[in-house]
């Protein structure tokens, strides 16, 4: 059975279920179950993210999921942005609650009241905390597993406070670097975009977003980073004594990555046989399949066991010695994206070698037992590099740069992302939206537009990005 990836939407749902990443049959729309195999993939990716956050000075914490109505409603723009999506708890048992409780859609309004208790002096900053939690949004749009959920099961949100805007800006740079490292390691290509004023996070001064391109040609926002300025400091009355003894408001930034980290890895690297997982994050890195012939059962089994013992000190290895046929085993572990398969049959035993098959390109070779560990290291390194390159090439093939208005219309409704130089006026960005039938995602960060604005012809200041988006 194959999973044709050209029908991406069906492919995605089918592979998620068949590879036992999640079970989407839970009886609440937009909520799903992480199965053991998927949970391990999630843990490996979240573990790496946690490590990156700690290495950049963020400390892990955990804040409550319940937010009192008055705290949530304090920041006007913010509550307006989330109003339609907030789940409200109104009763405990049969008792109506005195104060309605919101189930966190995001945690600014849970965390900043505590910041107001913790921040007294400039010496209390920089304050950098993060948590990895479930958050809840009553989505009215079409839900999609790990992409648009009503319970986001894995929301890494960092919240930071600084004594001045320069430090907050340095934090925005720090996160851009850390997030770039994260996505590079997952082999997920991205654009870094400054969102337009009309599409920024509710309550933010500005919003930076990491967007990747899915096989459908639509963008997926995979990370966001917000400079909230002093907006929330004012709302939650956070202040500190600065070095000169004056009361001042801290600058706050926040930075999020969700379940989409896992969905993008699945969507971008997978193929017609199912998952293709980057070795660093694969729950099973190597599967060993004995190829049994009747009269040679014992020595094949004993060889596979020896190799299993040797490899498992270094890799996450499974020895599949179930009674299934080799063909069914190949199918199963390919579907689960295991980077390397080792086959061992009588011929391999006789020649003191094993057969190694790469999941990414299905290339097969015989490797002498004595060289196995060293060669596996090379193969795994090469798989990682090849997967990144393939993903990068596909990304580039879906990213079109145009320099004139005439070129734009060719891409109307096409499954690509379009970049074009713009002057920076909303009207020009909006006009391009109309021509392309795509949304303006914003302008590429720290990249200047070359030439002139594709609409008005004035000198270009930015590279604009347009796409259909999840």
State the residues that interact with a second copy by CB under 8 A: 23, 25-28, 31-36, 39-40, 42-43, 59-68, 71, 83-95, 101, 103, 110, 113-114, 117, 129, 134, 136, 138, 150-151, 153
User: Angle 267-30-184 (CA atoms, 0-180°, nearest 5)?
Assistant: 30
Q: Nearer Cβ to a second copy, position 62 or 385?
A: 62
To a second copy, the closest distance from the beta carbon of 60 in angstroms equals 5
To a second copy, the closest distance from the beta carbon of 132 in angstroms equals 11
Whether the CB-CB separation of 224 and 207 falls below 8 Å is answered with: yes
Q: Nearer Cβ to a second copy, position 35 or 375?
A: 35
To a second copy, the closest distance from the beta carbon of 88 in angstroms equals 4
To a second copy, the closest distance from the beta carbon of 339 in angstroms equals 21
Joined together, the tokens standing for residue 96 give: 């109506």
Whether the CB-CB separation of 215 and 391 falls below 8 Å is answered with: no
To a second copy, the closest distance from the beta carbon of 2 in angstroms equals 25
Place of tokens 């993903």: 391
Q: Nearer Cβ to a second copy, position 18 or 134?
A: 134
Q: Nearer Cβ to a second copy, position 154 or 233?
A: 154
Phi and psi torsions of 174, nearest 5° = -55, -45
Rounded to whole angstroms, the Cα distance separating 197 from 194 reads 9
Query: Which residue from 249, 255, 233 is spatially nearest to 172, judged by alpha carbons?
Result: 255
Joined together, the tokens standing for residue 177 give: 């670097």
Q: Nearer Cβ to a second copy, position 115 or 466?
A: 115
To a second copy, the closest distance from the beta carbon of 71 in angstroms equals 6
Q: Nearer Cβ to a second copy, position 41 or 349?
A: 41
Whether the CB-CB separation of 10 and 243 falls below 8 Å is answered with: no
Task: Please compute, for residue 47, the number of CA atoms within 13 A of its CA located in the half-sphere on the CB side.
Answer: 10
Joined together, the tokens standing for residue 195 give: 């969102």
CB atoms within 10 A of CB 167: 16
């Amino acid at each position: 059975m194959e999973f044709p990836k050209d029908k991406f939407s069906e492919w995605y749902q089918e592979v998620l279920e068949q590879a036992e990443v999640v079970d989407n049959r839970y009886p609440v729309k937009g909520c799903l179950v992480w199965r053991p195999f998927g949970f391990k993939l999630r843990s490996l990716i979240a573990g790496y993210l946690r490590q990156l956050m700690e290495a950049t000075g963020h400390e892990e914490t955990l804040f409550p999921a319940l937010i009192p109505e008055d705290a949530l409603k304090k920041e006007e723009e913010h509550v307006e942005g989330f109003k339609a999506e907030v789940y409200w708890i109104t009763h405990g048992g049969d008792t109506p609650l005195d104060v309605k409780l919101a189930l966190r859609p995001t945690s600014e309004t849970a965390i900043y009241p505590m910041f107001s208790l913790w921040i007294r002096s400039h010496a209390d900053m920089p304050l950098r905390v993060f948590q990895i939690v479930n958050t809840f949004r009553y989505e009215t749009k079409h839900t999609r597993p790990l992409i648009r959920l009503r319970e986001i099961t894995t929301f890494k949100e960092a919240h930071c406070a600084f004594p001045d805007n320069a430090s907050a800006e340095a934090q925005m740079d720090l996160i851009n670097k850390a997030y770039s490292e994260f996505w590079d390691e997952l082999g997920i290509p991205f654009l870094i975009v400054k969102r337009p004023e009309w599409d920024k996070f509710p309550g933010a001064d500005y919003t930076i977003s990491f967007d990747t391109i899915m096989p459908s040609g639509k963008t997926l926002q995979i990370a966001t980073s917000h400079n909230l300025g002093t907006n929330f400091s004012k709302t939650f009355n956070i202040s500190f004594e600065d070095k000169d003894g004056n009361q001042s408001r801290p600058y706050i930034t926040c930075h999020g990555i969700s379940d989409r980290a896992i969905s993008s890895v699945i969507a971008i690297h997978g193929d017609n046989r199912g998952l293709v997982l980057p070795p660093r994050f694969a729950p099973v890195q190597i599967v060993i399949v004995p190829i049994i012939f009747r009269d040679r059962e014992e020595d094949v089994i004993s060889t596979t066991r020896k190799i299993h013992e040797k490899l498992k000190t270094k890799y996450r290895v499974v020895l599949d010695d179930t009674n299934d046929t080799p063909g069914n085993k190949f199918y199963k572990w390919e579907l689960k994206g295991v980077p390397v398969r080792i086959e061992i049959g009588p011929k391999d035993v006789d020649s003191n070698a094993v057969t190694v098959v790469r999941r990414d390109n299905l290339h097969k070779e015989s490797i002498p037992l004595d060289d196995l560990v060293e060669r596996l290291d090379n193969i795994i390194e090469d798989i990682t590099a090849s997967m990144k390159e393939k993903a990068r090439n596909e990304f580039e093939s879906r990213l079109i740069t145009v320099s004139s208005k005439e070129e734009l219309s060719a891409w109307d409704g096409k499954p690509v992302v379009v970049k074009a130089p713009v002057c920076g006026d909303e009207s020009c960005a909006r006009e391009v939206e109309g021509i392309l039938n795509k949304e303006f995602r914003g302008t590429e960060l720290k990249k200047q537009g070359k030439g002139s604005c594709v609409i008005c012809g004035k000198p270009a200041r930015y590279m604009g990005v347009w796409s259909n988006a999840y």
